[in-house]
């Protein structure tokens, strides 16, 4: 708890420190100038700063709900995490593979997309499968 408090206070102090933010602004301007000075790099990078500026209002509008639903929902409960995974797997299950969310259990784990997900009895114990997504699946008894 104390470390979390110290981290938050350190971040806040950095954000309100005029000298620090001035150095960050100067570094940003220098970086943009270096990208603009290299035509090949500028062509490859495009204008990510405009894209970021356009998305900021959307992110600011969505952040409060996202933070509550994704960051704090369930109070860190493992059971809530399992329930969240099951609901998302059910939502993604019937989507074509190319339109499913890449990080969804359906896309990450063959087991989750099998008929077993629809027909298995309630799950009592969980382990992680060996897929890259590490989605939960019931342990074999």
pLDDT value at position 128? Answer: 45
Q: What is the mean pLDDT of residues 83-111?
A: 69
Over 90: is that where the pLDDT of 81 sits?
Answer: no
pLDDT, averaged across the chain:
77
Q: What 3-state class would DSSP assign to 99?
A: coil
Q: How far is Cα 62 from Cα 45, in angstroms, rounded to an integer?
A: 27
Total count of residues recorded for the chain: 141
Residue 53 reports pLDDT greater than 60: yes
Q: Of 135 and 68, which is predicted with more confidence?
A: 68
Name 47's bridge partners: none
Whether the predicted model's global pTM rises above the 0.85 cut: no
Give 2-50 pLDDT, tens digit per residue. 888 899 999 999 999 999 999 999 999 999 999 999 999 999 999 999 9
The b-or-e profile of 104-113 (16+ CB within 10 A means b, else e) is bbbbbbebbb
Q: Are 107 and 133 in contact (CB under 8 A)?
A: yes
Cα separation values, 24 from 19, 31, 118, Å: 9, 10, 52
Is the distance from CB of 49 to CB of 32 less than 8 angstroms?
yes
Specify the pLDDT at position 66: 86
């Amino acid at each position: 708890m104390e470390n979390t408090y110290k981290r938050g206070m350190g971040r806040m102090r950095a954000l309100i420190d005029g000298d620090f933010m001035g150095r960050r602004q100067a570094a940003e301007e220098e970086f943009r100038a270096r990208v603009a000075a290299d035509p090949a790099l500028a062509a490859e990078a495009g204008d990510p700063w405009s894209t970021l500026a356009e998305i900021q209002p959307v992110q600011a509008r969505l952040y409060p709900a996202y933070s509550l639903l994704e960051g704090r929902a369930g109070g860190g409960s493992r059971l809530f995490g399992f329930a969240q995974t099951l609901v998302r797997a059910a939502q993604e299950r019937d989507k074509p593979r190319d339109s499913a969310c890449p990080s969804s259990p359906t896309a990450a784990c063959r087991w989750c997309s099998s008929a077993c997900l629809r027909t298995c009895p309630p799950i009592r114990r969980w382990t992680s499968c060996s897929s890259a997504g590490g989605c939960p699946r019931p342990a074999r008894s």
